[in-house]
Amino acid sequence: MDEKDQSIGYYSPGLAGIPVTKSAISSVDGKVGHLEYRGINIEQLAEQSTFEETSFLLLYGRLPSQQELMEAHEKLRHHRRIKFRIRDMMKCFPESAHPMDSLQTTVAAMGMFYPLPHGQLTAEQIRSVCLNLMSKLPTLVAAHSRMRKGDDPIPPRDDLSHAANFLYMLNGDEPTPLMERIMDVALIVHAEHTLNASTFSTIVTASTLADPYTCISAAIGSLSGPLHGGANEDVLRMLDEIGDVNRAESYLNEKLAKKEKIAGLGHRIYKTKDPRAVLLQKLYVQLTQEMGEDPTYEIASRIEELSRSTLGAKGICPNVDFYSGIVYRKLGIPTDLFTPIFAMARVSGWLAHWKEQLGSSRIYRPTQIYVGDKGLTYIPMKER
């Protein structure tokens, strides 16, 4: 519950319900399960747009013309390659390094290779850094995934889309059109989601006028925490632990009896099924038509069905992570790459918020409620 201090007002743990900025980038209605990017419903973008076009929308506040989209495609593909010194640095990472740690480190290091002047940036500098980060993150994720196994990175291909090129760089196989489309939609639905922890990290860091590589590195660091990113990994571990659809009911009942959380169910904002979960579930069904059924999905569907009358009645419903991990694993993606893929998608939203923050000159400096001692006397060492 909120507490009140007469000198500073209300205290809300985690800033719950406290507006800290104004934004025109995205909006969420958690009661009805509605998500919009720049006023356009996520379902429309998932069905009709591409990640490249959606990123343009997020960054510039409007849909691009055909010529603008073609130029954006060309520039994104042109920026995909990474400098050999960054690859050399990655070769020195321990094989046990988590992909998120590798990604945060390399993004921070990029700031040294692409330095920007302090102070106000030009429109061209802003455009260039956005293209650089969006295009290179998939290359960094795929390169580390291969290098940690002793394999050389696969160079990006300029003839492939953002989604298809990433899948190609992972294993050298060009994805089918359906696999490409499903990866593309997965990137779209993860691209932006208002002021979550990693986005807040972005704008707090940006408010100090730190360079954008530092801002995105800070966001990746926030996303790496188990309470933010990585929930889809927990879902897969849960489903694998259940192992058989006939065990789903007893597993759920046991968890409910112990009042333990069910991975992938519940969201801080949504009190109904996450619209992104609906879209990802549809994608998985399409994918099975090409690649065959997976018993993991059957278990997940059963858990969702059984939880409707209990958790669902309390507004605890499947979130985006409930089905995303199943989709990624069906695409042959290693489990520990799920959160880096989240970052690959969310970087366009982070950058949109970074750009928006540039219009404000006010540094974030929240206050606190001090609950420690006061007026104590220093005790010399010999008297302690």
Cα-based torsion angle of the residue sequence 170, 173, 179, 183 in order, rounded to the nearest 10 degrees? 20
CA gap 48, 300 in Å, rounded: 27
Find all residues with CB under 8 Å of 243, minimum gap 6, and list them: 299
Phi, psi dihedral angles at 306 (to 5 degrees)? -70, -30
Per-position DSSP letters for 83-94, written without gaps between them: -HHHHHHHHTS-
CA gap 300, 306 in Å, rounded: 10
Per-position DSSP letters for 258-278, written without gaps between them: TT---TTB--SS-SS--HHHH
User: Which residues are bridge partners to 9 per DSSP?
Assistant: 5
Q: Is 240 a catalytic residue?
A: no
Q: Which of 320, 317, 236, 316 is nearest to 280 (CA)?
A: 320
User: Which residues are bridge partners to 76 per DSSP?
Assistant: none
CA gap 319, 323 in Å, rounded: 8
Per-position DSSP letters for 136-163, written without gaps between them: HHHHHHHHHHHHTTTPPPPPP-TTS-HH
Active-site residue identified among 162, 190, 267, 353:
267
Q: What angle do CA 202, 206, 210 make, to 5 degrees?
A: 120
Q: Is 267 a catalytic residue?
A: yes
Active-site residue identified among 184, 211, 274, 321:
321
Active site residues: 267, 321
